[in-house]
Structure formats: C-alpha cells, structure tokens
C-alpha cells in the first residue's frame, strides 16, 4: 500500500503550464483503460474522493493521496446474481464506478460499481479502507456505458427527517436479472434495509419501471439529479415518444413525501435559440442547481435564496441520434418557473384534458377530471392520472452558445454576479458571467487537460476559491480567479472578471474581501461593471521646464471620499520626490519638487518623464499619470529649439534656446517654438537665421586653420540680412 502511495504522490504536481492549475493528481500505475468515473468533495473536511475503473481514491484537499483501494477486476457473469452456481462461467470484469455519494448523516461514502449486477458498498468517510460493508442488492447499471445518477435527499417514511438515495438507471438488457432494477427509485439508507426500495406495497412503492415491452426500445439516459423544495428531480434525454426516432430532454419529478410515487411526472425541457436548428439544443449534457446573484435573480423574478438550474445542452449530431454534436448552449431556469410549469401540466390533466402519456411505463389513458378545488405547486399526486407525462415544456433561450461541446457545468455567486464554469470535450474550463436570463459572456478559458473531456462532476473546495476538475485520467485543482496578475486599473477592469476589482487605496487588483474598507465607498473597490477607474484626466501645466517650480492642478475623475493628508509623488530615474497636496473640488493641487532635488536630464536627451502619482500617508499610489520635465537649454540650434515638442523659443542675437523669453530674450529678436501657445509673427524653423550663399557665389566657406578671415555672406531671417561673418575653424 505505502509503495503505491509514494508512487502516486510523485505525480502530484505543484503547478502545470497554466498558472490557474495549482495541483493535479493522476495514477501512473493505473491500467490504460482505468479511467476516472466520478468525483465528490466533502463539503465539511474538503477531502476529495475519486471513483474509477477498479479503484477508489481518497485524497486531501491538496490532492495528496491518503488511500487507494482496489475494487476490481472481479470474476463475474451477467447471467447470474451474487452467488453463481458452479456451472456458470465467470470471467474477470472491470468494476466501473457508477455512483459516488457522501451520506453526511452517517459519515459514510457510498460507492456503487458495475459488477455483480450493480451493487453498492458503504465505507468510512475518514478512511475508505475501514468499515466496508457490501450490500447484495442490485442498484445501478451493470455495464460501463449505461447511465446512473444517484443523490441523497429527503424521502419516506418521514421527510425531511429521513433521507433516501434517489437513483435513476438506464435499463441494460445484458442479464435476465435487470428487470428487477427500477428505472427510478428511492433507496433506504437505514442500516437494516440499506439500499432496498424505501417503501413497497403490492402494486406501488418508491419505484418506477419501464414496462417489459419497451425496455429494449425506449432507453432513458439519466444526466443529473437534484433536490429542491420538497421534490427530487432527474434530467434525462429520451425518445420523443414510443415509435419516435428523435430525441429530446425531459425533467422527471417525484415528491419527497410520496410512498407510492403517485407524484411521478415528466415534462419536456427546451433550450431553443439562435443556431439551434429545428429541435434547438435538444440534448441536455450536464447541469447544476445553485443560487443566482442579485442581478440575475431580479431578472428571473426570484430572490437570491431561490434555486436556479444551470444546464448545458448540445444539438444532436443528426435528427435521429442521441449523440451530441459540438454545438452547445447554456440555458438557465429558475426552479420557481419549473415548479409552476409542473403545476400547469398537472392541472391540465386533472381537469380532464389530454392523455396521461408515458406509455413506455404503463398504458396511456385519457386524463380523468377530478373535483379538486385547487392544485398548488406542492401537490404530491393522487392514485389517478399517474404516472403523468405533461406536454407543456419548461422553456428557456440560451444565455450563451458555443462551437464546442460542453460536458460539465457548475455555478456560484460572487458579489452581485452569477458565475458559471463550464467544462468542454477538449479539456478546457470556460469562465462565464450570466448577466441576465437571456445573456451571458465568456471572460476566460483555461486549458486543464488538452484533448481529454471534462467529467460532469465539478466541485468547489470548501472556500469556493478553487474548482476540482476531473478528466479521464487526471484531477486538477484550479483557481477560480487570478486577480493579482492585473497590474493596472484598466487591465483589471478590462478582464471583466467578476471576482476582481480595482482596490483604489491599495493600488491593486483584488477580491473585494482583500480590499481594506471596500464597503465604505463604492470607489474604494471598483468592479468591471459598477464604475470606471479613478483617473487623472488633466494636469495643468502638463509639462514643465526642469529649472523652474510650479503649482500643478490635477483634475481627477471618480475620486473616492478620503480623509487625511495627501501627497504628490514624482518618480523618475531611480528617484522619488514627495510634495504636499491640497484637496480641491476637482482633485488636488501640489507643487513640483525643488529644482535642485530633481535628477539631471540624461546626456543627449532634452527631457525625462516622471510618474506623477497621488498617495496618502499610509497607502501606496492610488492614481497616477505621466509628467514631463524638459530643459530648453539643451538645444543648441534654432531649428531644434523651435521644432521641439516643448514650449521653447530661440533668441537670435543671444544664440540660445529658452523657456522664458521675458527673462532671457530682452530686446532680442525672437523665434517662437511651434509648441508655444498663443499668436506669434515668427514661429517655427522657417524663421530661423540661415546662410544662403557667400560673396563668391559658392556654397562653401574655406578658411585656413588658425586664421581669422572676414567673409560676406547672404543670410535669411524673414528678409535678406547682409552682415560680416567671422568663421573660426578648430585646429
């Protein structure tokens, strides 16, 4: 055992190529066909359990191996039950895990496998190798491909005090004993009746069978099961009716307090919209029941405490197949709407309209009118009009469509937002925000296990900060958010990650819970939808001569309400200089640093750009922009000076570039720079003095080294000017 645990521990990776995947687990000793089948996470301890072909694993929340139990192959024959007579030939058969359920009331793990007609065992939740009890009762499907869905919810005899295990099973015709396994049943969890039908009578009980004539012709595929407000539900795909060759999806429901399954009802469910073809997205593939954020709840006409069904659908590959194509859609249904739709279908039949349907269970008859004064949403059925197949579907339009097949779905709430994580057949995990009952958008795609389909069992950890994602041979622990990778407000909000917002006072992208005082002001933590970044929209002046100091006015949008002292910080060339800032209605004002403390402009340059930010005494920068310090004195020619991006002017007689003509160009001829604001008669390099020609008509002036020589040349400065030119040539 320990040798195996060490080998398994060696393949637990601290990280993968995706920084979102923090841990992963696979079994290098597993046989090639030993695939992972089911996953469940203990919501109390955080332990992870995996049901696989011929193995069951118990892992820590960090996917470290605690136990690995071998469950197969098992010598088996589909032609006999648990005790085969000696003349029956038994062969080694893989034990495919068909159900993996936690019974929290007794701290037990229920595991069901495909061998021995589909029996189940219970194990100690703290150590799955202890207190193992195998119950010889056929419960689940006895082959690898037939579906089984199992979950625990209230049921007879005294719900909600008593719990049962609801099981939906596809019929397999590979054994004469499969006729004893109901298609839907409630199984007892009492020790003396473990996994037996919870309640039975002569002709009724907590079970439903597909009739013997239709079992082979009418397969029912069970996709998902859940409990909500007094009822248990299954989602299925099945033929549209006896004799039909097209498939659709249905919701199956039974009342918790129904010992006879008189309440057994099925109604169609549709997810129809753009790109769905004639039958829409007709095959439900995966689903999850959870809560909605306040925005979506308001759209659905419910509160944030009501249940919501999130379901992934695919189109059929062709009109008469149950095989899903790559075209998928996500649809959202409130359980309130589903309950209402069941009630409408039941009322229709109990009013004597239509037929009972479901002739694959029992012969269909006309609905019988009753004298019931009212049928409420909690109606649990009578011994008439049962089982009932309603015709009115529960309907939704896709909130999002995909050209990839969705195989798994789970949902959660962060703040006001509803977030769905959807697994794909290619091994990716999509991140989706559902904004309304009809719209959603994808904001992320994580590669979990390329080209390996994501299993339907998606679970959060106990803190709801990671997802456990299972593919055929790997379980990965995936972060639900990675806010810290966004380093600016614009990139943070631009990611449209509902978990992330910009924490203004701490200058970081974070969860709301990680932002100090986020509840005090909406602008302290800004989500992608609730607001815009705190931004310096204008600095006046927006650049400054390095050798001068000025008071700057900083206009700031989305300025949070703040108390205390503020400062302006000027950061450039490995130096940060701080000056006091004063609050103003438009933002703040502050002076530039003393000129003798500013860094020098680098050689060969004419300016440097500083980061100008506003901060408090305690916190980091919470808003910043660029501010330029320039120096006109670094320009040595008129053309460079007046063509620059800075407000520099050229003093012709003084032969210098300056930012302050009043001080430095008194009584001088002035050429103003193109960046200087205001009117000017002489602006730009076209007004700079230039030498056009010499007195001898050549374009060259030749002077011996070390000799002074007078020369007449023709220069231009808005008009011809003739003056002697003294030229010195260096030795």
Q: In terms of domains, do 288 and 273 share one?
A: yes
The pLDDT of residue 699 is above 70: no
Q: What is the pLDDT of residue 564?
A: 81
Examine the domain organization and report whether 190 and 100 are in the same domain: yes
Q: Which residues contact 513 (CB under 8 A, 6 or more apart)?
A: none
Is residue 663 in some structural domain? no
| Residue 136 lies inside a defined structural domain of this protein | yes
Q: Do 82 and 190 reside in the same domain of the chain?
A: yes
Query: Do 286 and 373 fall within a single domain?
Result: yes
Last residue of a domain, one of 527, 549, 582: 527
Statement to judge: residues 352 and 366 lie in one domain: yes
Q: What is the largest CA-CA distance in the chain?
A: 132
Is residue 635 in some structural domain?
no
Does residue 697 carry a pLDDT above 90? Answer: no
Taking the C-alpha atoms of residue 483 and residue 487, their distance in angstroms, rounded to an integer, is: 9
Residues 272, 375 share a domain: yes
Rounded CA gap, 431 and 446, in Å? Answer: 8
Q: Is residue 450 part of a domain?
A: no
Note the pLDDT of residue 4: 36
3-state secondary structure of 641: helix
Range of the domain at 694: 689-731
According to DSSP, the residues that pair with 714 across neighbouring strands are 693, 722
Residue keyed to tokens 């869905």: 149
pLDDT digits (tens, 9 = 90+) for 634-692: 999 999 999 999 999 999 999 999 999 988 888 899 999 999 888 888 888 989 988 77
pLDDT of residue 10: 32
- The closest of 569, 473, 494, 578 to 8, measured between CA atoms, is 473
CB 167 within 8 A of CB 184: yes
Q: What DSSP character marks residue 483?
A: G
In a domain, 509, yes or no: yes
- 552-596, pLDDT tens digit by residue? 999 999 888 777 889 999 999 999 999 999 999 999 999 999 999
Query: Does 555 fall in a domain?
Result: yes
- Same domain for 509 and 541? no
Which tokens is 393 given?
Answer: 């579907």
| Rg of the chain on CA atoms, in Å | 39
Residues 6+ apart with CB under 8 A from 714: 691, 692, 693, 694, 720, 722
Q: How far apart are the two ends of the chain, measured CA to CA in Å? A: 92
**pLDDT surpassing 60 at residue 82:** yes
- b/e sequence 410-434, b meaning 16+ C-beta within 10 Å: bbbbbbbbbbbbbbbbbbbbbbbbb
Averaged pLDDT for residues 305-330 = 94
- Contact between 286 and 408 (Cβ < 8 Å): yes
């Amino acid at each position: 055992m320990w040798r195996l645990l060490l080998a398994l521990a060696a393949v637990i990776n601290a990280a993968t190529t995706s920084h979102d995947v923090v841990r992963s687990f696979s079994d290098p000793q597993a046989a090639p066909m030993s695939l992972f089948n089911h996953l469940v996470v203990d919501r109390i301890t955080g332990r992870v359990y995996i049901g696989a072909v011929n193995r069951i694993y118990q892992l820590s929340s960090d996917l470290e191996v605690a136990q690995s139990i071998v469950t197969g192959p098992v010598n088996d024959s589909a032609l006999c039950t648990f005790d085969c007579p000696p003349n029956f030939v038994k062969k080694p058969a893989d034990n495919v895990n068909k159900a993996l359920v936690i019974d929290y009331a007794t701290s037990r793990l229920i595991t069901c496998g495909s061998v021995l007609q589909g029996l189940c065992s219970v194990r100690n939740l703290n150590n799955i190798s202890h207190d193992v009890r195998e119950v010889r009762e056929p419960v689940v499907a006895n082959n690898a491909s037939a579906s089984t869905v199992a979950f625990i919810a209230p049921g007879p005899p005294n719900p909600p005090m008593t719990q049962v295990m609801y099981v939906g099973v596809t019929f397999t015709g590979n054994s004469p004993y499969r006729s004893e396994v109901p298609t839907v049943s409630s199984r007892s969890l009492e020790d003396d009746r473990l996994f037996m039908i919870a309640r039975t009578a002569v002709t009724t009980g907590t079970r439903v069978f597909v009739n013997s004539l239709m079992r082979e012709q009418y397969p029912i595929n069970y996709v998902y099961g859940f409990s909500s407000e007094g009822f248990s539900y299954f989602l299925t795909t099945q033929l549209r009716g006896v004799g039909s060759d097209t498939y659709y999806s249905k919701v199956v429901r039974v009342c918790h307090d129904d010992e006879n399954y008189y309440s057994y009802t099925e109604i169609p469910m549709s997810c129809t919209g753009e790109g769905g073809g004639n039958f829409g997205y007709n095959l439900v593939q995966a689903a999850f029941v959870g809560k909605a954020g306040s925005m979506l709840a308001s759209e659905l006409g419910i509160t944030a405490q009501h249940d919501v069904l999130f379901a992934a659908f695919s189109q059929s590959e062709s009109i008469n197949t149950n095989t899903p194509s790559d075209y998928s859609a996500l649809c959202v249904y409130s359980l309130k709407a589903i309950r209402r739709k069941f009630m409408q279908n039941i009322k229709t039949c109990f009013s004597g309209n239509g037929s009972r349907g479901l002739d694959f269970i029992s012969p269909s008859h006309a609905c019988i009118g009753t004298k019931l004064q009212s049928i409420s949403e909690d109606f649990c059925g009578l011994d008439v009009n049962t089982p009932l197949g309603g015709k009115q579907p529960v309907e939704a339009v896709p909130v999002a469509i995909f050209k990839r097949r969705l195989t798994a779905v789970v949902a959660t709430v962060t703040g006001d937002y509803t977030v769905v994580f959807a697994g794909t057949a290619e091994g990716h995990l999509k991140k989706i925000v559902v904004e309304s009952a009809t719209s959603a958008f994808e904001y992320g795609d994580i590669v979990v296990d390329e080209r390996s389909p994501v299993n339907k069992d998606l679970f959060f950890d106990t803190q709801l900060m990671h997802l456990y994602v299972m593919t055929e041979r790997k379980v990965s622990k995936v972060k639900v958010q990675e806010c810290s990778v966004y380093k600016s407000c614009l990139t943070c909000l631009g990611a449209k990650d509902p978990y992330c917002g910009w924490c203004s006072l701490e200058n970081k992208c974070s969860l709301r819970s990680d932002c100090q005082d986020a509840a005090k002001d909406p602008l302290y933590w800004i989500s992608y939808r609730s607001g815009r970044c705190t931004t310096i929209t204008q600095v006046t002046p927006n650049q400054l001569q390095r050798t001068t100091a000025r008071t700057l006015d900083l206009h700031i949008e989305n300025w949070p309400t703040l108390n205390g002292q503020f400062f302006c910080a000027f950061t450039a060339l490995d130096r940060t200089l701080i000056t006091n800032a004063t609050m103003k209605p438009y933002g703040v004002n502050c002076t530039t640093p003393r000129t003798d403390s500013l860094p020098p402009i680098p050689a060969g340059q004419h300016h440097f750009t500083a980061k100008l930010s506003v901060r408090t005494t305690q916190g980091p920068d919470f808003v910043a922009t660029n501010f330029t310090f320039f120096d006109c004195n670094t320009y040595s020619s008129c053309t460079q000076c007046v063509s620059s991006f800075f407000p520099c002017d050229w003093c012709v007689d003084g032969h210098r570039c300056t930012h302050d003509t009043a001080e430095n160009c008194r009584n001088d001829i002035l050429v103003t720079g193109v960046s200087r604001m205001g009117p000017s008669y002489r602006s730009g390099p076209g007004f700079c003095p230039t030498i056009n020609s010499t007195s001898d008509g050549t374009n060259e002036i030749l002077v011996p080294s070390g000799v002074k020589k007078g020369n007449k040349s023709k220069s231009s400065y808005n008009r011809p000017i003739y003056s002697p030119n003294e030229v010195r040539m260096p030795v």
